[in-house]
Structure 1
Amino acid sequence: MSAKDLRSKLRLLLLAPLALALTGCAKVSGLGFEEGLSSVNDISLSLWSWSWIAAGVVGVFTLILILWPAVFHRASASKGEFPKQTQYNVPVEIAYTIIPFIIVAVLFYFTAVKETKIVEKTTTYAHEITVEGIQWSWQFGYPEAGPKAVLTGTPANPPTMVVPLGEKVRYTITSNDVVHGFWIPAFMIQMQNLPGVTNSLEFTANKLGTYPGRCNILCGRNHAQMLFTVKVVTPSEYKAYLETLKASNA
C-alpha cells in the first residue's frame, strides 16, 4: 500500500466519527431517557440530548486535532527531519478562547430557561404530596387525606409514593436531619431536601407504571438503602387511594 493510499484511509478513519455524530443529529433520541414520562421530561429532554450531541462533536473534533499532526505531520527519522517549531498563533488562540465561551454561554442560557420553567410555581396543581427525607428513608404525606396520612419507610421496607396519571402534583420537599436528594431518574427529576428549608416542585406523571427513586446525595451510613418507588395510577385509583388513607387514619 502506497503512502498516499495510507493517508487517504487515515483521513477517512478520522472523519468517520464526526460524520457519525452529525448524522445522529437528524433525529435526537432520549439518550438514556424515555420521552413523555413526565412534564419535566418534555421540558428538559431536548437540552439533555443536544448537550450530549454537542459534547460528542467537540470531542471528535478535538480527537482529530490531536491525531492529525501525529499522523500527517510527524518527522521522518530516516531523514533526520525536525518539525517546524511554532511558539504561538494568535488567530488560533483567539478561536479556542471564543468558541468554548460561546458553547458554554449557549448551554448556560438554555439550562437557565429550562430550569426556570421546571421550578416555576403555579396555582393550577390538582394535588399536593409532602416529601420529607429522613435518615435513612422517606416520609410521604397526603394532605388531602388528612394530617395523619403519612407513609414512613425504612431501609428494610422502602415506601411507595402513589401519584395520579395526567394531573399536576405539587411536591413539598423538606428534611428533618441532613441534606438528602429527592431523585426520580426516569422522570428527570432531582431536588434537594434541605434542613430548615422548604422546596417545592410541580410536575405531571404521564405514563402508568412503577419507577424507582432514591436519595442521590451522600447522607450517612445507610445512604445506599434510601430508596422508594413511584407508582403512577389512574385518577380514579388515586382518589380511592386517598379515601383508603382517610379511613385508615380516622
Structure 2
Amino acid sequence: MASSWVRRGVVLATGAVLLVLTGCSSQDVAALKRLGLPQAASAQAPEIAHLWIGTWIAAGTIGVFVWGLIGWVVIRYRSHTNEMPRQNRYNLPMEIFYTIAPFVVIGVLFYYTILAQNAVTAESKNPDVTVDVVGQKWSWTFNYKSAQDPAVGADVYEVGTIQATPDLYLPVNKSVRFNLSSPDVNHSFWVPAFYEKRDIIPGRNNNIEITPNRIGTYRGKCAELCGTYHQSMLFNVHVVTEDEYTAYLKTLAAKGQVGEAKGASNADPQGSAKIYQGEEVGDR
C-alpha cells in the first residue's frame, strides 16, 4: 500500500514537471538550467556556474532524501489508535550518522569552493588591458591605462554622474585587470554577467581580473548599500572587438579626457561636482 502511494506521487510529480517544461521556450529552458544565473560573458564565469549548480544539486539531493524519509515514516508508521510507540533513549548509529554527515557535506562543498576560488582569482603577470576603477558617491570613473598602446598613446578616462550613466568598454577575449579604489565610502564593483564582484574599500587597493568572451552590452552596478544615491551607481559594459575598443579610447582622447581622474572628494548629490582631489577633471 505504501509503495503504491509512493509510485503515484512520483508519477504525478513527473507529469507536473513535464507539463511545465512543455510550455517553456528554449530561452526559458536554458535559464532554468542556469538556475537563475544570467547568461555568462566571461571566461571565469563557468567556474562559478559549476559551483552554483553543483551546490544546488547537492542541496536538492539531500532535501529529497530527507523529505523521502519523512514521507516514508509518516506512511509506514501511521496509526489509527492513540497508543504511544515504544520510546528509545538513544540510537547510537543514528546519532553518529547525523553528527558526521553534515561535516562531510561541508567538507565537500568547501573543497570545491576553494577550487573555484583559486580559478577565478588567478591573475596573469601582464594583463592585456588595465583599467583603474574609482567608485565614488554616486557614480563611477574608469581610467584606461593605455599610454603604452601606440594606437592611443595616452591614458584616458570616463567619468559618470547621477544623470549620466558611464560606459565601460572592454575588448573581447582579452584579459582585463581592474584596479579598484574609493575616495569616500565602501562600494562594490559588480557585473552580473561576469558572475563576480569585488568590494571597494577606502584606503585599500583591491583588484579583479576578468576575460570577457561574449560580445554584447551588459549592466554593471554597485553591490554595496553605499548611501543615499546608491541606486544611481549604475554603468554599462560594452564588450566589443579590439578595433572598436581602440576607436572608443581615441574618442575619449579627442574629447580631452586625457590623464587620470581619481574620483570626487565631495560629490554633489545632483551629480554636478567634477572636482577630483582638489583639481578640475581636465587637469589630471
TM-score of the two chains, using structure 1 as the length reference:
0.85
Counterpart residue number, 2:34: 30
Counterpart CA distance in 2 for 1:51 and 1:14 is 26
The answer (yes or no) to whether the contact 2:158–2:252 under 8 Å persists in 1 is no
C-alpha displacement of 1:174: 1.3
Q: Which has the higher helix share?
A: 1
1:244–1:39 Cα change, 3 Å: same
Counterpart residue number, 1:69: 73
- State how many pairs are aligned: 236
Pairs within 5 Å for 1:138-217: 138-144=140-146, 146-147=154-155, 149-217=156-224
Counterpart residue number, 1:51: 55
Counterpart CA distance in 2 for 1:34 and 1:216 is 16
1:158–1:69 Cα change, 3 Å: same
Residue identity matched to 2:3: S
1:36–1:222 Cα change, 3 Å: closer
Pairs within 5 Å for 1:107-118: 107-118=109-120
C-alpha displacement of 1:204: 0.8
Work out whether 1:82 is the aligned partner of 2:89: no
Work out whether 1:101 is the aligned partner of 2:108: no
C-alpha displacement of 1:15: 5.8
C-alpha displacement of 1:238: 0.4
C-alpha displacement of 1:35: 6.0
Give runs of ≥4 in structure 1 deviating > 4 Å: 13-18
C-alpha displacement of 1:111: 0.9
Deviation digits for residues 59-86 of structure 1, max 9, x if unmatched? 1122223333223213323xx3222223
C-alpha displacement of 1:153: 1.5
1:169–1:71 Cα change, 3 Å: same
Unaligned runs of 5+ in 2: 18-31, 148-153, 259-284
Deviation digits for residues 190-230 of structure 1, max 9, x if unmatched? 11111111111111111111111111111112222221111
Counterpart residue number, 2:23: none
Counterpart CA distance in 2 for 1:60 and 1:9 is 18
C-alpha displacement of 1:235: 0.6
1:63–1:13 Cα change, 3 Å: farther
Residue identity matched to 1:109: Y
Counterpart CA distance in 2 for 1:248 and 1:100 is 59
Counterpart residue number, 2:28: none
Structure 1 SS opposite 2:146: helix
The answer (yes or no) to whether the contact 1:14–1:64 under 8 Å persists in 2 is no
Counterpart CA distance in 1 for 2:128 and 2:164 is 29
Counterpart CA distance in 2 for 1:56 and 1:13 is 21
Query: Structure 1 stretch 199-208 or stretch 67-76: which is displaced more?
Result: 67-76
C-alpha displacement of 1:36: 5.3
The answer (yes or no) to whether the contact 1:35–1:42 under 8 Å persists in 2 is no
Counterpart residue number, 1:24: none
Pairs within 5 Å for 1:10-25: 10-12=5-7
Counterpart CA distance in 2 for 1:156 and 1:68 is 60
1:13–1:227 Cα change, 3 Å: farther
Counterpart CA distance in 1 for 2:110 and 2:197 is 18
Structure 2 SS opposite 1:83: coil
TM-score of the two chains, using structure 2 as the length reference:
0.75
Identity of aligned residues (%): 38
1:90–1:14 Cα change, 3 Å: farther
The answer (yes or no) to whether the contact 2:173–2:212 under 8 Å persists in 1 is yes
Counterpart residue number, 2:279: none
Counterpart CA distance in 2 for 1:45 and 1:66 is 31
Counterpart CA distance in 2 for 1:174 and 1:84 is 65
